[in-house]
Amino acid sequence: MTSDQAPASGHPKTASDAGARPYATVDPCTGETEREFPFLETDAVDGVVERAHAAFGEWRRRPVEERAAVVRRAADLMRERQGDLAALITREMGKRIKEAAGEVRLAASILDYYATQGPGFLAPKPIDVAQGEAVVVNEPLGVLLAIEPWNYPLYQVVRVAGPNLVLGNTVLLKHAELNPQCALALEQLFRDAGAPDGVYTNVFLRIADVERVIAHRHVRGVTLTGSERAGASVAEIAGRHLKKSVLELGGSDPFVVLDAQDVGRTVKAATMGRMANTGQACIAAKRFIVLDEVYDQVVGGLQQAFAGFTPGDPADPSTTLGPLSSERAAQDLVAQIQDAVDKGATVLAGGGRPDRPGAFVEATLLADVTPDMRAWSEELFGPAAVVHRAADEEEAVRLANDSEYGLSAVVYSSDLERARSVADRIESGMVWINQPTGSSPELPFGGVKRSGYGRELSELGMFELANRRLVRTLPAQKADEPAGG
């Protein structure tokens, strides 16, 4: 999951803002700045944390059913405001309007899931012991900092906010600089749903002030979805201050095709897995690894499919290819593609930028990519993919695992036993068989290797930032000396 520099605003900056990305709504179709928002002043940061901590004291004492009711109401409001929220997503980061509406619905379903299932997840868990009682109770930690990206400006946030608000934590959101109005809309939504002041707070935080927040004695954890570089920095700061962290970082997910009884279905799934959200997804299929016997059929189909994408206004429902989130993002992706071409890669589709304004890049398919090219090892965050020919399953697995990332993987085969055998050998936090990687509230989400650690969504996501406290009880007359360390 990459992040990029928002276009400069042209307005003067203070010395402390020098080099910082402004919080601004910038139309990715035109590059024009619609609106800017000031940073929270450094000397106001501690006060925001203190208010969140004060709110925590009251919020944690509310019955879990009351906290869940607020989250359920937030889901209802999200659906009521779907049109406005979807339009805002499209305006700020260029997501096609149909996909933006889908993101709103998915985000609302996550809030519903935790409002409905969360209280049951949090019920005390008894442990079978020889005498007396032992139980694990699930308690909130306190104030959390959530650092979230621009590519799914609602969905990424509620993956953290939903479970943690039901749990009883309070949340400070540092959203991406590209999405200030989405960030404010979320804050208003939770406020309108009944969250007390300080329970959920948007903070237009300077990157330079992130450490100040993490280090604050009342902040108990931090979660980040973003780039490797940002994740490593946050993990280092959190570790130094002994704070729990959860990281969801980049991915260079393999899409392995072992056979293709229905080539058209396989190609459609692969194309969808790569091109959703204009390819700006950490779980997008970025490396197609196709066995030799079906390579020509599958890659020929991909080539035709990629050539069929037409750039256009993302607010127009007929558009099939939207812009990237910013001009900087488009330039970065083209540089990766050009590096591969300069070193001998074959362009099967696209390869450049369409002749029109905006942060557009053609749907690009590259073959003959070698380890000396950036496209071999780097995450391609946009509408570009690499295809590899594999002689057999062993080579397919070797190529799939030849990555510093390990977020998700896809395996396609008509033989489920064969597919599972290959899937079992792929190093990833998630693997999908005969379906492109997706997301659903009940399914855990997270990776291994340089894709991060920890899990969001599902019951697992409820406990990453919880105190799972043991309560051990023995009758007073039978109590022994404490054992163990």
Q: How far apart are CA 197 and CA 163, in angstroms?
A: 18
**Could you confirm whether 236 is annotated as catalytic?**
no
Residues 6+ apart with CB under 8 A from 441: 109, 110, 112, 113, 114, 457, 458
> Three-state DSSP class for 190?
helix
Residue pair 321/311 in contact by the 8 Å Cβ criterion: yes
Residue pair 213/45 in contact by the 8 Å Cβ criterion: yes
The catalytic residue among 248, 362, 378, 456 is 248
Residue 432: name the closest of 417, 450, 419 by CA. 419
Residue 123 to residues 113, 171, 373, 474: CA-CA distances in angstroms? 16, 22, 51, 21
Q: How far apart are CA 123 and CA 99, in angstroms?
A: 36
E strands, 296-354, in order: 346-349
Encoded amino acid at 459, one letter: E
CA 121 and chain centroid, separation: 23
Residue 413: name the closest of 254, 253, 261 by CA. 261
Residue 182 tokens read as: 């989405």
CB atoms within 10 A of CB 333: 24
Residue pair 193/44 in contact by the 8 Å Cβ criterion: no
Residue pair 260/297 in contact by the 8 Å Cβ criterion: yes
CB atoms within 10 A of CB 16: 13
**Could you confirm whether 36 is annotated as catalytic?**
no
Residue 134: name the closest of 410, 484, 469 by CA. 469
65: DSSP letter = H
The catalytic residue among 282, 327, 378, 456 is 282
> Three-state DSSP class for 353?
coil
Residue 431 tokens read as: 């693997």
CA 92 and chain centroid, separation: 17
Residue with tokens 């927040």: 213
460: DSSP letter = G
Residue pair 200/184 in contact by the 8 Å Cβ criterion: no
Q: How far apart are CA 112 and CA 336, in angstroms?
A: 40
Return the axis-axis angle of helices 155-167 and 180-192, rounded to nearest 10°. Answer: 30
8: DSSP letter = P
Catalytic residue numbers read 248, 282
